[in-house]
A and B are shown apart, each in its own frame.
Chain A
Amino acid sequence: MTISDQELLKLQMECTVFFENNPYAYETAKGLSKKLGRGVEPLQIVLNRLAAISILEKRGEGNMAIYSYKTPYTQSEVEIH
């Protein structure tokens, strides 16, 4: 089964929102598939893509690879001299 880029992009958004809302979720592709109600295979593609662009952190390889959110650096206050 081939998955279109459009579908992968939608899934990518879904995963990003999930990790953003649950910043301390440590999920495998299988675990996340249960929580999002999506197939494991496309999730694996998307999770690896998100890890490659540093949105997620990946620990381990294969089925037991764990993905977690890399909290972006934000600065809320700036002191101006």
Chain B
Amino acid sequence: MQETGLIHDIVHTGVPGLDVLLNGGVPRGTTIILEGNPGTGKTTLGIQFLLEGARQYGESGIYITFEELPEQIYRDMSGFGWDLRELERQNKLRIICLEPDVLLDQMTRTDGLFEQLIREIDCKRVVIDSISLFRTLGVSENDGREQIYSIRNIMRKFDLTAFFLREYGETEGRSTPFENYVCDGIIRLSLREHLEKYRKRTIEILKMRGTHIVEGEHHYRFLKDGICILPALSMVEDKILNDGVDRLSTGIESLDELLLGGLPQGSAFMLDSNSKANYKYLMNSILAERLKRGDCVLFMLSGLSSVETLEQTLELFGSSLKEAALEERVFFIDHYHRKVEPEYEKLVIHVDRLSNEEYQKKVYEAINPHFRETILQGKRWFIHYDLNTIISERGREFVKRNFADEMARCRAAGITVLCQSNFTEIGLETSSFLERASNGVIRTWVDGSYQYLQITKSPGGRMSAPHIVDNIRDRPYVRLI
């Protein structure tokens, strides 16, 4: 069966990286302006878009050129190994050359040339190179507007997904061109100076109706098989941890989106916050979500958080610590020997006044049988690891010696760990080591009047842009903007 490429009516562009920026692709039937100065690759990107449809999804396409001759395009594109003539022979593509006024005339005729061509190859994708010429067609600028508006409507009528190419230089500095309002999206290709002697090619999505976009400028390159976009803040993907694992929701929808669904099960994530930033909402939302989902959780209590305060905070997030305690799904490591209610007594591992060796032995002996038993029952485990407490109670050297080993063992057992730390306080050397030993890092910090959050490392290879942490009235009390 032929794949249609339809995922919620999304049309894949076929340009590596661009679909990532477009949250999968462009909505079907939309008209997008692709603008850039000469030499930025508008034609190549347009052809690549048509090729993807023709080769991968059985969607034929038409490239309409007003100035360039098709033979030139056949020749130029053969440099990328694309045999456009062969696709024409298979009725999957047409490189059409005609005058803009002829196109307009034929488009508006019933059963005109345009309709015939669409029907002939069952066309789904169109590229027009370029709409800049419509400005010079009419007597007044108004004529050009009407023509572009009319063409856009014709594209919609036939449910065609279209790229309108436009020279950027001519609109630069002028008031907003009319077509920017009527078209559904605008993508800009630029060539800028870079490190004095070099030039960098960047792509930016300025407008896109009907899909989320990754904002900002992203580098792109011409490779031997076409244009390839390198989404900004992206790193190499950790396939092993990214594919086919369960994602654990953080309880914060916007954070889950940044994490491509949540924390991958069996990963070790670091929540790094500076002293001013309020990380508690984030941490408690994640912990509460785990309890709600029936997971087992091991909490490391800090000097400021006791079982009692933890119970109250989790209650705020709609999660009952006591209920989980009665089901023996929660355990606590306490360095400060605080009294707890009877329900919790046998679940607290008191580790005060123990040497590091004694501490390790006690925790291991207390918790290991539970790990084994519950994992065999198919239960998931989540560990809240307070690195600030461990460093102050056990010392930096203890962390350096044991952290990587502990995380590796947790990963092997499919246990998800969220470590809480303050990299600034810990110092550069230790924090770099901790970052390396973790699969992901969520940073939150206060700068001026705002608190920010950014994923600076993730197994998916994606870094996020910094988001503002906004307080909201209802659970989970924070959202990212």
What is A's interface to B at a CB cutoff of 8 Å? 21-28, 30-31, 35, 59, 64, 66
Chain B residues with Cβ below 8 Å from A31 are: 98-99, 102
Q: Are A24 and B102 in contact (CB under 8 A)?
A: no
Q: Are B98 and A35 in contact (CB under 8 A)?
A: no
Chain B residues with Cβ below 8 Å from A66 are: 98, 102, 106, 113
Known: A35-B69, A64-B105. A25 touches B113 (CB 8 A): no
What 9 A-B pairs are tightest by C-beta distance, nearest first?
A: A31-B99, A26-B98, A25-B97, A21-B71, A22-B70, A24-B96, A24-B94, A22-B71, A22-B97
Answer yes or no: B95 CB below 8 A from chain A CBs.
yes
10 CB < 8 A contacts A-B: A21-B69, A22-B69, A24-B70, A24-B94, A26-B97, A26-B98, A26-B102, A26-B113, A59-B113, A66-B113
A35 CA / B71 CA spacing, docked (Å): 12
A64 CA / B88 CA spacing, docked (Å): 26
Q: When A and B form their complex, what is the total count of cross-chain residue pairs whose Cβ atoms lie within 8 Å?
A: 46
Q: A22-B69, A24-B70 given. 4 additional CB < 8 A pairs? A: A28-B99, A28-B102, A31-B99, A64-B102
A59 CA / B95 CA spacing, docked (Å): 19
* B80 smallest CB distance to A (angstroms): 20
Pick from B71, B88, B99: contact of A27, CB under 8 Å: B99
Flag B454-476 by CB within 8 Å of A: 1 or 0 each.
00000000000000000000000
Flag B223-261 by CB within 8 Å of A: 1 or 0 each.
000000000000000000000000000000000000000
A24 CA / B105 CA spacing, docked (Å): 17
Q: Are B88 and A23 in contact (CB under 8 A)?
A: yes
Known: A22-B70, A64-B105. A27 touches B113 (CB 8 A): no
A55 CA / B102 CA spacing, docked (Å): 21
Chain B residues with Cβ below 8 Å from A21 are: 69-71
* B85 nearest in chain A by CB position: A23
